[in-house]
Structure 1
Amino acid sequence: MSDNNPSILSHVSIGTNDFARAVAFYDRVMATLGYGRVLEFPHAVAYGKQFPEFWVQTPLDGSRANVGNGTHFGFIAHSKQAVHAFHEAALAAGATNDGAPGPRPLYGEPYYGCFVKDLDGHKIEASFWDTSMGGSHGA
Protein backbone atom coordinates (compact mmCIF):
# COMPACT_ATOMS: atom_id res chain seq x y z
CA MET A 1 0.00 0.00 0.00
CA SER A 2 1.26 3.44 -0.90
CA ASP A 3 2.13 5.94 1.84
CA ASN A 4 -0.31 8.42 0.30
CA ASN A 5 -3.30 6.06 0.62
CA PRO A 6 -5.65 7.70 3.16
CA SER A 7 -7.26 4.40 4.20
CA ILE A 8 -6.58 2.90 7.61
CA LEU A 9 -7.93 -0.53 6.69
CA SER A 10 -6.71 -2.95 4.07
CA HIS A 11 -10.20 -4.26 3.32
CA VAL A 12 -13.49 -5.56 4.71
CA SER A 13 -15.64 -8.45 3.51
CA ILE A 14 -19.34 -9.14 3.74
CA GLY A 15 -21.09 -12.42 3.12
CA THR A 16 -24.04 -13.00 0.86
CA ASN A 17 -26.47 -15.85 0.32
CA ASP A 18 -27.25 -14.77 -3.26
CA PHE A 19 -23.93 -13.89 -4.88
CA ALA A 20 -25.19 -12.85 -8.32
CA ARG A 21 -27.90 -10.61 -6.86
CA ALA A 22 -25.51 -9.02 -4.34
CA VAL A 23 -22.87 -8.30 -6.99
CA ALA A 24 -25.47 -6.73 -9.30
CA PHE A 25 -26.58 -4.54 -6.35
CA TYR A 26 -23.05 -3.42 -5.49
CA ASP A 27 -22.10 -2.85 -9.13
CA ARG A 28 -24.97 -0.37 -9.26
CA VAL A 29 -24.47 1.46 -5.96
CA MET A 30 -20.66 1.60 -6.00
CA ALA A 31 -20.72 3.18 -9.46
CA THR A 32 -22.60 6.19 -7.99
CA LEU A 33 -19.53 6.89 -5.84
CA GLY A 34 -16.99 6.32 -8.60
CA TYR A 35 -15.92 2.87 -7.35
CA GLY A 36 -15.87 -0.35 -9.31
CA ARG A 37 -14.70 -3.94 -9.42
CA VAL A 38 -10.94 -4.31 -9.00
CA LEU A 39 -10.72 -8.10 -8.47
CA GLU A 40 -13.05 -10.97 -9.30
CA PHE A 41 -13.16 -14.63 -8.38
CA PRO A 42 -15.96 -17.20 -8.88
CA HIS A 43 -17.52 -16.47 -5.47
CA ALA A 44 -15.96 -13.12 -4.52
CA VAL A 45 -15.77 -9.62 -6.00
CA ALA A 46 -13.71 -6.74 -4.60
CA TYR A 47 -14.58 -3.07 -5.10
CA GLY A 48 -12.39 0.00 -4.78
CA LYS A 49 -10.68 2.79 -6.70
CA GLN A 50 -7.21 1.24 -6.92
CA PHE A 51 -7.14 -1.44 -4.23
CA PRO A 52 -9.57 -4.24 -3.31
CA GLU A 53 -11.09 -2.59 -0.25
CA PHE A 54 -14.66 -3.91 -0.06
CA TRP A 55 -15.34 -7.58 -0.77
CA VAL A 56 -18.69 -9.27 -1.40
CA GLN A 57 -18.48 -13.05 -1.20
CA THR A 58 -20.12 -16.29 -0.25
CA PRO A 59 -18.88 -17.58 3.11
CA LEU A 60 -15.75 -19.70 2.69
CA ASP A 61 -16.95 -22.29 5.20
CA GLY A 62 -20.09 -23.02 3.17
CA SER A 63 -22.42 -21.87 5.95
CA ARG A 64 -25.12 -19.26 5.46
CA ALA A 65 -24.02 -15.63 5.60
CA ASN A 66 -25.52 -13.53 8.37
CA VAL A 67 -25.50 -9.87 9.36
CA GLY A 68 -23.42 -8.53 12.24
CA ASN A 69 -25.54 -6.69 14.78
CA GLY A 70 -23.99 -3.24 15.26
CA THR A 71 -21.84 -3.55 12.13
CA HIS A 72 -22.07 -1.17 9.21
CA PHE A 73 -19.87 -0.08 6.34
CA GLY A 74 -19.43 3.56 5.36
CA PHE A 75 -18.34 4.66 1.91
CA ILE A 76 -16.87 8.04 1.00
CA ALA A 77 -19.00 10.21 -1.26
CA HIS A 78 -17.40 13.19 -2.96
CA SER A 79 -20.49 15.39 -2.93
CA LYS A 80 -23.97 15.67 -1.48
CA GLN A 81 -25.28 14.76 -4.93
CA ALA A 82 -23.30 11.49 -4.78
CA VAL A 83 -24.93 10.69 -1.40
CA HIS A 84 -28.34 11.16 -3.01
CA ALA A 85 -27.37 9.10 -6.08
CA PHE A 86 -26.11 6.27 -3.84
CA HIS A 87 -29.33 6.30 -1.80
CA GLU A 88 -31.58 6.40 -4.87
CA ALA A 89 -29.64 3.64 -6.66
CA ALA A 90 -29.66 1.45 -3.56
CA LEU A 91 -33.41 1.80 -3.07
CA ALA A 92 -34.07 1.20 -6.77
CA ALA A 93 -31.95 -1.97 -6.55
CA GLY A 94 -33.97 -3.33 -3.61
CA ALA A 95 -32.29 -1.91 -0.50
CA THR A 96 -34.28 -0.80 2.54
CA ASN A 97 -34.07 2.83 3.65
CA ASP A 98 -32.37 3.17 7.05
CA GLY A 99 -31.77 6.94 7.03
CA ALA A 100 -32.50 9.36 4.19
CA PRO A 101 -29.76 11.68 2.89
CA GLY A 102 -29.17 14.72 5.02
CA PRO A 103 -27.02 16.39 7.64
CA ARG A 104 -26.57 14.76 11.03
CA PRO A 105 -24.91 17.44 13.19
CA LEU A 106 -24.37 14.97 16.03
CA TYR A 107 -21.74 13.29 13.78
CA GLY A 108 -20.08 16.65 13.12
CA GLU A 109 -21.22 19.79 11.33
CA PRO A 110 -19.53 18.78 8.02
CA TYR A 111 -21.32 15.40 7.85
CA TYR A 112 -23.94 14.70 5.17
CA GLY A 113 -24.93 11.10 4.58
CA CYS A 114 -27.46 8.31 4.25
CA PHE A 115 -27.96 4.73 5.40
CA VAL A 116 -29.57 1.71 3.74
CA LYS A 117 -29.71 -2.02 4.36
CA ASP A 118 -28.53 -4.07 1.40
CA LEU A 119 -30.26 -7.14 0.02
CA ASP A 120 -28.73 -9.39 2.71
CA GLY A 121 -29.52 -6.90 5.49
CA HIS A 122 -26.04 -5.37 5.88
CA LYS A 123 -26.18 -1.70 6.90
CA ILE A 124 -24.24 0.51 4.50
CA GLU A 125 -23.67 4.26 4.45
CA ALA A 126 -22.47 6.91 2.04
CA SER A 127 -21.23 10.16 3.55
CA PHE A 128 -19.76 13.43 2.36
CA TRP A 129 -17.65 15.63 4.62
CA ASP A 130 -18.00 19.28 3.62
CA THR A 131 -14.57 20.45 4.74
CA SER A 132 -15.47 24.04 3.82
CA MET A 133 -17.63 24.02 6.98
CA GLY A 134 -14.71 23.28 9.29
CA GLY A 135 -15.18 20.87 12.15
CA SER A 136 -13.73 17.43 12.57
CA HIS A 137 -14.47 13.95 11.31
CA GLY A 138 -16.22 11.77 13.83
CA ALA A 139 -19.06 9.25 13.94
Structure 2
Amino acid sequence: MTQPSETRAPLVSHVSVGVTDLHRAGVFYDAVLAVVGARRIMEHGAGIGYGRTFPEFWANLPRESRGVVASGAGAHVCFSAADPETVVAFHEAGLAAGGYSDGAPGPRPEYAPGYYAAFLRDPDGNKVEAMCWIARADDA
Protein backbone atom coordinates (compact mmCIF):
# COMPACT_ATOMS: atom_id res chain seq x y z
CA MET A 1 0.00 0.00 0.00
CA THR A 2 1.34 3.46 -0.85
CA GLN A 3 1.37 6.32 1.59
CA PRO A 4 -1.19 9.07 0.91
CA SER A 5 0.06 12.40 -0.36
CA GLU A 6 0.33 15.11 2.28
CA THR A 7 -1.86 17.35 0.12
CA ARG A 8 -4.54 14.75 -0.54
CA ALA A 9 -7.78 15.37 1.34
CA PRO A 10 -8.83 12.60 3.73
CA LEU A 11 -11.72 10.39 2.68
CA VAL A 12 -13.66 11.27 5.84
CA SER A 13 -13.87 14.87 7.03
CA HIS A 14 -15.31 14.14 10.45
CA VAL A 15 -17.36 11.64 12.45
CA SER A 16 -20.06 12.34 15.05
CA VAL A 17 -21.56 10.21 17.79
CA GLY A 18 -24.76 10.98 19.63
CA VAL A 19 -24.61 11.46 23.39
CA THR A 20 -27.25 12.14 26.05
CA ASP A 21 -25.12 14.26 28.40
CA LEU A 22 -22.62 16.62 26.81
CA HIS A 23 -20.69 17.27 30.04
CA ARG A 24 -20.31 13.54 30.78
CA ALA A 25 -19.26 12.87 27.18
CA GLY A 26 -16.74 15.71 27.43
CA VAL A 27 -15.14 14.16 30.51
CA PHE A 28 -14.81 10.81 28.70
CA TYR A 29 -13.56 12.14 25.35
CA ASP A 30 -11.23 14.73 26.95
CA ALA A 31 -9.52 11.81 28.71
CA VAL A 32 -9.27 9.25 25.90
CA LEU A 33 -8.52 11.63 23.04
CA ALA A 34 -5.76 13.44 24.93
CA VAL A 35 -3.93 10.11 25.02
CA VAL A 36 -3.88 9.93 21.19
CA GLY A 37 -2.88 13.58 20.79
CA ALA A 38 -6.26 15.21 20.18
CA ARG A 39 -7.96 18.02 22.08
CA ARG A 40 -11.16 20.06 22.11
CA ILE A 41 -11.04 22.28 19.06
CA MET A 42 -14.47 23.86 19.32
CA GLU A 43 -17.72 23.70 21.25
CA HIS A 44 -21.25 24.88 20.75
CA GLY A 45 -24.43 24.28 22.71
CA ALA A 46 -25.07 20.89 21.14
CA GLY A 47 -21.58 19.48 20.58
CA ILE A 48 -17.88 19.25 21.27
CA GLY A 49 -15.43 18.90 18.36
CA TYR A 50 -12.06 17.17 18.84
CA GLY A 51 -8.97 16.88 16.70
CA ARG A 52 -5.34 17.83 16.37
CA THR A 53 -5.90 20.91 14.19
CA PHE A 54 -9.44 20.44 12.80
CA PRO A 55 -12.52 19.00 14.56
CA GLU A 56 -12.50 15.49 13.08
CA PHE A 57 -14.57 13.85 15.82
CA TRP A 58 -17.74 15.23 17.41
CA ALA A 59 -19.78 14.27 20.46
CA ASN A 60 -23.24 15.76 19.81
CA LEU A 61 -26.62 15.98 21.40
CA PRO A 62 -28.81 14.59 18.61
CA ARG A 63 -31.22 17.10 17.09
CA GLU A 64 -33.71 14.69 15.62
CA SER A 65 -34.16 12.27 18.53
CA ARG A 66 -35.30 14.66 21.27
CA GLY A 67 -32.55 13.54 23.63
CA VAL A 68 -32.83 9.81 23.00
CA VAL A 69 -29.64 8.21 21.74
CA ALA A 70 -29.38 4.71 20.32
CA SER A 71 -25.75 3.71 19.96
CA GLY A 72 -24.84 2.28 16.56
CA ALA A 73 -25.24 -1.47 16.31
CA GLY A 74 -22.25 -1.95 14.02
CA ALA A 75 -20.77 1.53 13.90
CA HIS A 76 -17.63 2.46 15.78
CA VAL A 77 -14.80 4.96 15.56
CA CYS A 78 -11.14 3.93 15.63
CA PHE A 79 -8.41 6.38 16.66
CA SER A 80 -4.78 5.93 15.59
CA ALA A 81 -2.29 5.43 18.40
CA ALA A 82 1.49 5.71 18.23
CA ASP A 83 2.32 2.46 20.01
CA PRO A 84 0.92 -0.27 22.28
CA GLU A 85 1.57 1.81 25.41
CA THR A 86 -0.70 4.53 24.00
CA VAL A 87 -3.40 1.93 23.27
CA VAL A 88 -3.19 0.74 26.89
CA ALA A 89 -3.29 4.34 28.20
CA PHE A 90 -6.36 5.06 26.00
CA HIS A 91 -8.16 2.04 27.48
CA GLU A 92 -7.21 2.96 31.05
CA ALA A 93 -8.23 6.62 30.57
CA GLY A 94 -11.60 5.55 29.19
CA LEU A 95 -12.30 3.24 32.10
CA ALA A 96 -11.33 5.95 34.58
CA ALA A 97 -13.56 8.50 32.80
CA GLY A 98 -16.78 6.49 32.96
CA GLY A 99 -16.54 4.19 29.96
CA TYR A 100 -16.41 0.44 30.00
CA SER A 101 -14.26 -2.14 28.28
CA ASP A 102 -15.40 -3.77 25.07
CA GLY A 103 -12.05 -5.52 24.53
CA ALA A 104 -8.85 -5.26 26.54
CA PRO A 105 -5.64 -4.04 24.87
CA GLY A 106 -3.85 -6.70 22.89
CA PRO A 107 -2.89 -8.11 19.50
CA ARG A 108 -5.74 -8.82 17.09
CA PRO A 109 -4.13 -11.12 14.49
CA GLU A 110 -7.62 -12.10 13.32
CA TYR A 111 -7.99 -8.53 11.97
CA ALA A 112 -4.55 -8.26 10.38
CA PRO A 113 -0.99 -9.31 11.21
CA GLY A 114 0.51 -6.70 13.55
CA TYR A 115 -2.85 -5.13 14.53
CA TYR A 116 -2.89 -4.09 18.21
CA ALA A 117 -6.02 -2.53 19.69
CA ALA A 118 -8.30 -1.83 22.64
CA PHE A 119 -12.04 -1.24 22.58
CA LEU A 120 -14.25 0.88 24.81
CA ARG A 121 -17.87 1.91 25.08
CA ASP A 122 -18.44 5.53 26.05
CA PRO A 123 -21.03 6.29 28.77
CA ASP A 124 -23.77 6.24 26.08
CA GLY A 125 -22.65 2.91 24.61
CA ASN A 126 -20.86 4.25 21.52
CA LYS A 127 -18.01 1.98 20.42
CA VAL A 128 -14.54 3.53 20.20
CA GLU A 129 -11.19 1.91 19.58
CA ALA A 130 -7.52 2.84 19.59
CA MET A 131 -5.11 0.85 17.42
CA CYS A 132 -1.51 0.76 16.28
CA TRP A 133 0.69 -1.52 14.25
CA ILE A 134 3.24 -3.74 15.96
CA ALA A 135 5.81 -6.18 14.60
CA ARG A 136 4.06 -9.17 13.14
CA ALA A 137 4.84 -12.57 14.62
CA ASP A 138 6.18 -13.74 11.26
CA ASP A 139 8.51 -10.67 11.12
CA ALA A 140 10.37 -11.73 14.26
Which bracket does the TM-score occupy, shorter chain normalised?
0.7 to 0.9
Q: Which residue, out of 85, 104, 129, partners 1:125?
A: 129
Identity over aligned residues, as a percent?
44
CA shift for structure 1 position 134: 9.8
- What is the rounded CA distance, in whole Å, between the counterparts of 2:70 and 2:125 in structure 1? 8
CA shift for structure 1 position 87: 0.3
Question: Unaligned stretches of 5+ in structure 2?
Answer: 1-5
Alignment map for 1:9-88 (pairs within 5 Å): 9-61=12-64, 63=66, 64-88=68-92
TM-score, with structure 1 as normaliser: 0.87
- What is the rounded CA distance, in whole Å, between the counterparts of 1:38 and 1:65 in structure 2? 24
After superposition, the C-alpha distances for 1:64-99 in whole angstroms (9 at most, x for unaligned) are: 121111111101001111000000010111211111
CA shift for structure 1 position 128: 0.6
- What is the rounded CA distance, in whole Å, between the counterparts of 1:61 and 1:103 in structure 2? 39
Q: Which residue of 2 aligns with 1:93?
A: 97
Runs of 4+ in structure 1 over 2 Å off: 132-135
CA RMSD for the aligned pairs?
A: 1.8
CA shift for structure 1 position 133: 4.2
Moved more, 116-125 or 56-65: 56-65
- The number of equivalent residue pairs is 132
- What is the rounded CA distance, in whole Å, between the counterparts of 1:109 and 1:15 in structure 2? 32
Question: Unaligned stretches of 5+ in structure 1?
Answer: none
TM-score, with structure 2 as normaliser: 0.87
